Structure 1
Amino acid sequence: MVALMVALLWVGVALLCYRQLHQTSTLSGGAMEESYRDTLECTEEDITDKVVFLEKRVTELEKDTAANGEQHSRLKQENLQLVHRANALEEQLKEQELRADQTLLEEIKKQREMLSKMEREKSIEIENLQARLQQLDDENSELRSCVPCLRANIERLEEEKQKLLDEIEDLTVQLTEEQENKRRMGDKLSHERHQFQKEKESTQEVRSLAARCSPALLEGSFASPASAASPKPTFRAFGHAWVEEGGTAA
């Protein structure tokens, strides 16, 4: 690159000299010689200056070229790394796309299987519901046909219920009366028991008195014939008291 630039600069200098010589060739003879000398002197100075400039420029270009070479090498290395990185990312992207496609296909397959399963379940459920609906329709029709019979049964049951309520009311009245009668009978029985106790006590007193009177009567019968001729008093039970025959109760 630097050699090419130097060669181009030398070609430029040569063209410049040739242009100046061509311009001087059109002048007159004496003037041409004088101008030629001046041109040569000017040309040598210009060439020297330009050579110095070119050397400086070449040095700068060499430095720039070296820097550019280092930068080029660095950029080339970075570019190579970027290429490798891009290739790796491209491979990774391809793998991810492949996995994504595989995952998508598996998910689609799974969703299709789930959808098919749901459709089967829904179909079975719909069939069951339709069968249940038909059963309910049949039961409804049967119940509607039984409504008159049920109404008649309801009326009959209402009548029987009313009869039973009336019977319950009558039985309640009878039970109340029976309880009242039972209470009265209890009172009467209590009174009779009290009377029986009193009669029992009286009977015991009569027996005690009869037991005390019997020896005296026996002695009197042996002592006087008159008393023997008189009839012996006898006692018999009357209710809960002892009553002498032909006499009053003892």
Structure 2
Amino acid sequence: MKKKNKKKKTDIRVRLFFFAVLLIVVAVFAFRMKDYREKKAAEARAAREAEQQDDDPRGKSFWQGAPELTVELLTPNQYSRPQLPLMETNAIVIHYTANPGTSAQENRDYFESLKHGISGEHVSSHFVIGLEGEIIQCIPCSEMSYASNDRNTDSIAIECCHPDDTGEFTEETYASCVKLTAWLCKAFHVPVENVIRHYDITGKDCPRFYVRDEEAWTQFKADVADRYEELLEGKD
């Protein structure tokens, strides 16, 4: 009798073990399927955005001089992409990520992760520029981002990655930021003097290097102005 009871208990443990393993497998599969569907939905949105650019009623001249960029729009959500219309475009605001060594993709994916509302943060940017100069568009320029405080409703935000705590951009990041900023100025008729820092809105130390070194910021705006003039002359 004792042997039968022992065998019965062993059988129950084995069944419980396999049942637990099955539950874990099902949970992992469900999570991966959800992640896969979200990724496919994001790709579909990006494809639609690219098609809209190709067929843009403003004409091909609108996109002349635009730097190469990847469109990876955030999933619409109340925390990072509320889909509120941008009322006007009066300024281009330059930011730094304050997250040294991270890539454009990592920062874009962080904005995406906020959709779950776990942290309760409201943060995003229209564009993120990586350490190698790669540009990712996260939000259409017709929508508001959560980046520039009380200027969210009338500005386009650019977040720039940086390799260390100084906040200085790499040469590649700097060059892409100049090109993107100048093109946005041309495309949306924003005067170069309305290229501003997050610091100029709130006093925040952002973008750090270009707040602490005024000469570097002055040079950046001069470089944007030069690129802007080239675009007006029709140079790519």
TM-score (norm 2): 0.25
TM-score (norm 1): 0.24
Structure label with greater radius of gyration: 1
Indicate the structure whose relative CO is greater, using CA pairs within 8 Å and at least 6 residues apart.
Answer: 2
Richer in strand (by share)? 2
